[in-house]
Structure 1
C-alpha cells in the first residue's frame, strides 16, 4: 500500500520544450517570391500609374507649349473639361468612336466564334495548320501589318485594284481608296478585325476543349441542331469567357491609334478620327496639352463605363443562373 510519503511510481512528464523561433532563412524563403516580382510590379506601376496621374493633373491646368518649355502651369479647375464638352466636334468624335468600337467588336466576336468552332471540328493536321496561320497573323507587328495594307490598297500598283479590274470592275482602275472617308474607314476596320480575330478564336477554342463531350451527345440525341447546340450548350458553358474576350476587344478597339494614324492620321476630312487620334491631334498639332489630357481622361472614363456595364451584365446573368439552379 502506498502511503502519503511514498514515491509516485509514474514517470514524471517533462515540460514541452519552448517552440524554437522561426529560422531567418525560412522567413527569407517566404519573402523570396515577392522580391522576385517586386521589380516588375514597381516598373509597371511607374509606367502605367504615373502617366495616368500626370495626365489627370495636367487636365486641370493651363498647359500649353510655353508651360512645356518654361514650366509654371497654373491651375484652372474644370475649365478644360467644360471647353471640351461644349465643343460639338468632340461629340461627333465620340459617336464615331462608339460606332468604330461596336462594329469592330461585333465582327471580331462573330468571326472569332466561327473560327473557334471550325477549329473544334477540324482534324489534327488541318487544325495545326490553321492555328499556325492564326498565331503568325497575331504575331505580326502592328506597323508592319498596317504597311502591308497600305500596299494592298495602293491606287496604281495595289493588288486589290488589280484584282478588281481583272474581275471586270473597271471603275476601280487607279481607285484612290484613302481619298474617300468611307473606304478608308472600311480598310481600317478590315485591318483591325484581321489582327484581332486570332486572339479571340484561339481563346474561345481553348474554352471549347473544356466542355464535356457528353453534353453535345445529349443535345444531339434530343434532336438539337447546330444553332440550338451553340445557344443551349456552348454559349452558357463559356459565358464568362465570352464576356472576358469581349471586354478585352472593347479595350483593344477603342484605344486603337497606330493603325489609324499611320494610314490616314484621322482623315480624310476627319472620317477616321477617333478619341485617341483626336486627343493626339489637339496635344501635338495644336500644342494644347491641357485639352488633350482632358480628352484622354474622358476617353478612359468612357472605356471604364463600357467595361463596368459589360461585367455587371455578366455577373447578373450568372446570378440568375445560380438562383435558377
Structure 2
C-alpha cells in the first residue's frame, strides 16, 4: 500500500518545547520590599526632627498654660496644675481685649495695603519691557532678601527725631513743626511706621508671586476682550482675577499668617510702646512672660493667638471653598 503525499503542502514544523515555569524568588521579593521602604527610612530622621521641633514646643506651651508657672517654678520645677485658671484670668483682662482689637486692626491694614500694592506692582511689571522688568524684579528680590533686623534699623534711622531724613525732608518742604519731631513717642505715628515697614518687607514676595501667576494667563483672552471693547478694569475683573485667583488666595492667606504673628519688627523698634500703642498679641505674650515673670499667662496668650489665627484661616478657607462650589 503506497502513501501519496501532497508536495504543495508545507511540512508541519514541530513546536518548541515551552520553558518550565519560573519559580518566584523569595529573595527578590524581599529586596523589592526593602527598596520600597528605603526612601522612607532615609526621610524618617528629618521628619521626626521637624515633628519634634514643631510639636514639642507647642505641647510644652499648652502644659505651661495649664500650670502655675512663674519664676520660682522655673527655677525649682515644682509647677502646680491649675487647669483653665490662666485662661480665665486672661479673658477677663480688659487690656487683653484691647490688644486683640489692635492686632486685628494691624493685620487688616497690612494685608489690604500689601495685596493692593503687590497687585499693582505685578501688573506694572507685566507691561514693562525686558530690561525694565529685569531691573524691577531684581530690586524686589534685593528688598525681599534684606534681613528683618537690618530693615528695621533702617526705618529707625529714617524716622530718627534728630538725624532722620524724613524730618529733614519735611523741614525743607516748609513744615517747621517737624523739627526734632519724635515719631516713636506718639502712638499713631509709631503704629503707622510699623505698618509701612511690614508692607515694605512683604510687597516684594507677593508681587513676584502674583507676577508669575500673571504670566500663565493666555494672551488670546486679552486680545479677544479688547476686540469686544472691554475696558482695562473690566478685563482685570473678568479675566485676570479669575485666572490668578488660586495664587492670589494663597498669597493672601500667607500674608494673614505673617502679619498676624509679626513680632521682631515691633520688639526691635518700639517694644510695644509708647504705652500699648503698638502692642499686638505676640508682643503681649512676651511682655507678660518676661516683664511680669508670668510664664503661664504668656503661654496662655500664645495659645489664644494660635487659636485666633486658626479661626481666621478656617473662616477664610470655608469662604473660598464655598465660592468654588465645594464644601469644607
The alignment's TM-score, normalised by the length of structure 2, stands at: 0.91
Residue equivalent to 1:230: 236
Residue equivalent to 2:162: 156
Residue equivalent to 2:83: 77
Pair 1:17 & 2:22 matched? yes
User: Partner of 1:238: helix, strand, or coil?
Assistant: helix
Q: Deviations over 1:158-198 (max 9, x none)?
A: 01101111111111111110010000000000000000000
Give structure 2 stretches of 5+ with no counterpart.
Answer: 1-13
User: Partner of 2:174: helix, strand, or coil?
Assistant: coil
After TM superposition, the structure 1 = structure 2 runs for residues 1-325 of structure 1, keeping only pairs within 5 Å, are 13-21=18-26, 22=28, 26-319=32-325
> How many residues were matched structurally?
313
Q: Call closer, same or farther: CA 1:29–1:128 in 2, change over 3 Å.
A: farther
Alpha-carbon distance between aligned partners in 1 of 2:78 and 2:201, rounded to the nearest angstrom: 43
User: Partner of 2:325: helix, strand, or coil?
Assistant: helix
Which stretch has the larger CA shift, 111-120 or 39-48?
39-48
Which stretch has the larger CA shift, 238-247 or 295-304?
238-247
Larger radius of gyration: 2
Alpha-carbon distance between aligned partners in 1 of 2:43 and 2:163, rounded to the nearest angstrom: 51
Q: Deviations over 1:116-156 (max 9, x none)?
A: 11111111110110001100111100001000000000001
Give structure 1 stretches of 5+ with no counterpart.
Answer: 1-8, 321-325
Task: State the Cα distance separating 1:19 from its structure 2 match.
Answer: 2.4
The alignment's TM-score, normalised by the length of structure 1, stands at: 0.92
Task: State the Cα distance separating 1:89 from its structure 2 match.
Answer: 0.6
